[in-house]
Amino acid sequence: MRDRIRPPAELETSVLDRLKADGIIETKQKGMMLAAAIGYHLEGQHGRRGLELDKLGEGIRLEYFQRVRDDAFIDALAVSLEQDLHALEDDSTDSRLTTFEQLAHVGLMELKRVCYDGQAKPLDALLDLIERTISSQTGPLPGLEGLGVLESLI
Amino acid sequence: MILRKLEITNFRQIYGTNQIEFAPVGDRNVTVVLGTNGSGKTTLLSAFMWCLYGTVDLQNKDELISHRAVQDTPVGGTVEVSVTLIFDATGHTYHASRSVCMRRLDGGSLERLTEGKLELMIMGADGRSAMANEPATLVERLLPESLSRFFFFRGEDMEQLARQGSQEHLKKGTETFLDFTVIDRSIKHLGQVSDRIEREIRSIAKGDAKDLSERMGQLTEEIDDLEARHEHAASEVAALVAQGDMLDAELAASDEVRPLLEDKARLKQKLQDQEERARELRRQLAALVSSDGYLAFAGDTLDRPLMLAEQAVQKGELPAKIKPKFVDDLLDKGACICGRPIDDQASGALRVYRSHTGLAGLEEQIFTLRNGVNLLRDRRERFVDLLHSARTDYSVALTDIQRTADELSRIDSELKGRDFGLEAIRALQAKVRAKSNELVEARVLLERLEASTAERRERLKELEDERKKKLGESAQEQALTARKAAVVAAQRAVVRLRNDWAALVQRYLDMKLKQTWDRIAQLERLVEFTPDLHLVIKERGGDGDWIASAPSQANQRALALSFIGALIDLAREVAESPTAGVASVFAGGEYCLVMDAPFATMDTFFKTRIPRGLVSLVPQIIVINSNDQWEGEVASALEDRVGKRYVLELHKPGREGEDRTVQFGGRSVDYEVAERYSGTDWSIIREVA
């Protein structure tokens, strides 16, 4: 069973390292979280799984994700994309990590475009993207208003 | 000279063809041009001087042309710089224009294809026009270059005018009004005639008279030599006085600018603190984005697992009725919880049941995910709130920085580079002492030369008297002696006339200066245009007497403006005098004032009074200044007299959002425009309707 998450080698240098050097992300783990979320925002909602991964870079141990309580997001992404809670099975761990890496790949390419291909400063460009995304999301998804039922069951 | 219109094409900072139509004489006779630092305010002033006299204060002649215009021109292509000034004077309208055409060479240098010659077209009241044959001479008659500094000037030059070292400029200016050219020529000519007669006398003198003549010749040579040395020494003294004035002014300015420097230091510290706070807020924003920024993109990811779990509950899959581990334990033990052994049939049933437990086996993972997702949902909510408040704080911090930077820029513009530290002041004081010693030595030399000259003149007079007695009785000698005496007497009379006339005009200008000061400054001071052509300002001493004071920059400007006001009055009277236009070099008439930052260093008192006073005295005023210098007291004083408004819109390399607008004439106008893809600055002139 895999215990590491690995970014694409080329984007690790051209985006993750750069974002870290520019003070926008504290760690590569945080950069991968941001990238995967953006990847999901762009591709995942349409049921796509991103790109085929080519050469992978240095791995980040899963333990780092757990330490800052971000691991739930990796699982949530897999469940959301599979539309199936069975994605949480132990046997599917590798598949969940691969899904995360594919989404991160898409997100890293978007981060490169937004932060480094335009005229604005990288942080400002990213903040604008975040603001736009937040303002485009309005309230809970239809049909999910009764989530409180679950609280009483588990 | 009343201005109608100025058209500038590619002149220095000003790009393309731009026009200014000036507010005419009347109730609204003020034209205001606003421009920020570097937008070309002084360029506008230079445009007048270049057009009329061809003079421009530039070391590199290529700098005459707009960089932006050169950039637009392909290699081998030509580009033109031109200035046209249309003005009224002596009942005619004049079109003065000067232009230069240049070719752009490979490597970026420019080749001048035409020399910028002045062309002057005269249009009569009847509509007929003609080109002036000698345009430079005509312009010199309408506004002599020596007088132009009184009508087209920079604020800082005005202070110079009120300093002791400006005696020569004031002298030249007043003498131009007096039209001394012809008189000086007469004095010189009479001197030459006298010398010629003297040479004739020497050539026919005999015996003792011949000896005396030779000694007189030697003495005359010595006197000529002493006079030349005196002239040189006098100009050295004048230069030293001017330099001393400059140093004194700088020292005085150090006192004047101290409050400004203190403000500047305080604002710089404030700006540093604000910039540090902005950097800290930006670090906080980055930390926020790094920690939880991804949650902004989570969308339904944090909702779907909960939704799927709820569906499982509705289907009865959760919660599990029997835990799969419980079934596994039973099968492992091979016995029921009551201890009865499990037979094959029961074991088969349990295995079937075990294979259909569905999500029951993932209950723990789902529980963990639910907790994790709820935590993330809380984090997302907190992130959105914190992001909003951090961005607001950051935006406020940037606005604070901009405000402080604007205040600093205003102070800088008031300081005009006069930034004195303690070291600079000490160095300045040392320079003043050294210059003062030099001046004392130069004055001693001058006095010695004067004494030597006087002594030789006295001796010459004695020799001449002695020679008169020795000269023979011949008719020729008698006639030559008499002729020489007549010529010398005539020369003395003309010199006396000239001096009397100069004194008369000095007294007249002194009177006018006092009237103008009372009218425009309205401050109890005694101002004087002294017989030795100095501008002096005095204030009441402790015992009520007038004492000369070291005037502040504001007082110096007010004094200089009053003097210029007096000259404008005099120019009007020259034109109205019965001898106007007769054998006179200067025509006189009504004159406009074109002023660059005239009120910059004045205090509130003068900023209110001087503009109002000037407007009532001068037929047409053009004020070129920054928004900081204009808004407030000056704008309030002149607002109801403004007939035309323009902005020098500065385009400079910058990023989006660095544009600056100002309120002018009740409208918001572009003041600085950031050009993202430009590598050079340029300005255009826009009328504010």
Q: Is the pLDDT of residue B467 over 80?
A: yes
**Residues in B touching A73 (Cβ below 8 Å):** 294-295, 298, 301-302, 372, 376
- Higher pLDDT residue, B570 or B103? B103
Do A37 and B294 lie within an 8 Å CB cutoff? Answer: yes
Do B305 and A44 lie within an 8 Å CB cutoff? Answer: no
**Alpha-carbon gap: A54 to the closest alpha carbon of chain B (Å):** 24
Q: Where does residue B178 rank: exposed (0-12), middle (13-18), buried (19+ CB within 10 A)?
A: buried
- Higher pLDDT residue, B27 or B426? B27
Do B289 and A34 lie within an 8 Å CB cutoff? Answer: yes
Q: Is the pLDDT of residue A139 over 60?
A: no
**Residues in A touching B296 (Cβ below 8 Å):** 37, 130, 133-134
Q: Are B674 and B654 in contact (CB under 8 A)?
A: yes
What mean pLDDT comes out for the span B357-365?
72
Both structure tokens of B614 = 């000037």
Q: Is the pLDDT of residue A127 over 90?
A: yes
B655 in contact with A at a CB cutoff of 8 Å?
A: yes
A26 in contact with B at a CB cutoff of 8 Å?
A: yes
Q: Are B290 and A127 in contact (CB under 8 A)?
A: no
pLDDT score for B493: 86
Residue among A91, A99, A130, A144 with most chain B CBs within 10 A, to mutate? A130
List all residues of chain A from 27 to 86 with a beta carbon under 8 Å from chain B: 27, 30-31, 33-34, 36-38, 40-41, 44-45, 68-73, 75-77, 79-80, 83-86
Query: What distance in Å separates the CA atoms of residue A129 and residue B289, rounded to the nearest whole number?
Result: 11
What mean pLDDT comes out for the span B361-372?
85
pLDDT > 90 in chain B, percent: 27
Helix/strand/coil for A142:
coil
Identity at B169, one-letter amino acid code: H
Listed ranges B281-290, B361-370, B467-476; the one with the highest mean pLDDT: B281-290
pLDDT score for A151: 36
pLDDT score for B472: 66
Look up the ipTM and state it.
0.87
Query: What distance in Å separates the CA atoms of residue B223 and residue B451, rounded to the nearest whole number?
Result: 11
- Higher pLDDT residue, B360 or B318? B318
Q: Could you say which of A85, A119, A146 has the minimum Cβ distance to residue B308?
A: A85
Q: Could you say which of B283, B287, B289 has the minimum Cβ distance to residue A126?
A: B289
Q: Which residue of B has its CA nearest to A144?
A: B307
Q: What is the pLDDT of residues B520-573, one digit of tens each?
A: 777 788 888 888 777 888 887 777 777 776 667 777 778 888 888 888 877 777
List all residues of chain A from 127 to 146 with a beta carbon under 8 Å from chain B: 127, 130-131, 133-134, 137, 140-141, 143-144, 146
Q: What is the pLDDT of residues B472-529, one digit of tens each?
A: 667 787 888 888 889 988 888 888 888 887 777 788 888 888 888 887 777 788 888 8
Q: Is the pLDDT of residue B373 over 80?
A: yes
Q: Which residue of A has its CA nearest to B385?
A: A134
The reported pTM is 0.52
- The confidence band for B421, taking pLDDT boundaries of 50, 70 and 90, is low
Cα dihedral across residues B168, B172, B175, B177: positive or negative: negative
Q: Which residue of B has its CA nearest to A75?
A: B369
State the number of CA atoms in the 13 A half-sphere of B134 facing the CB.
5
- The confidence band for B116, taking pLDDT boundaries of 50, 70 and 90, is confident
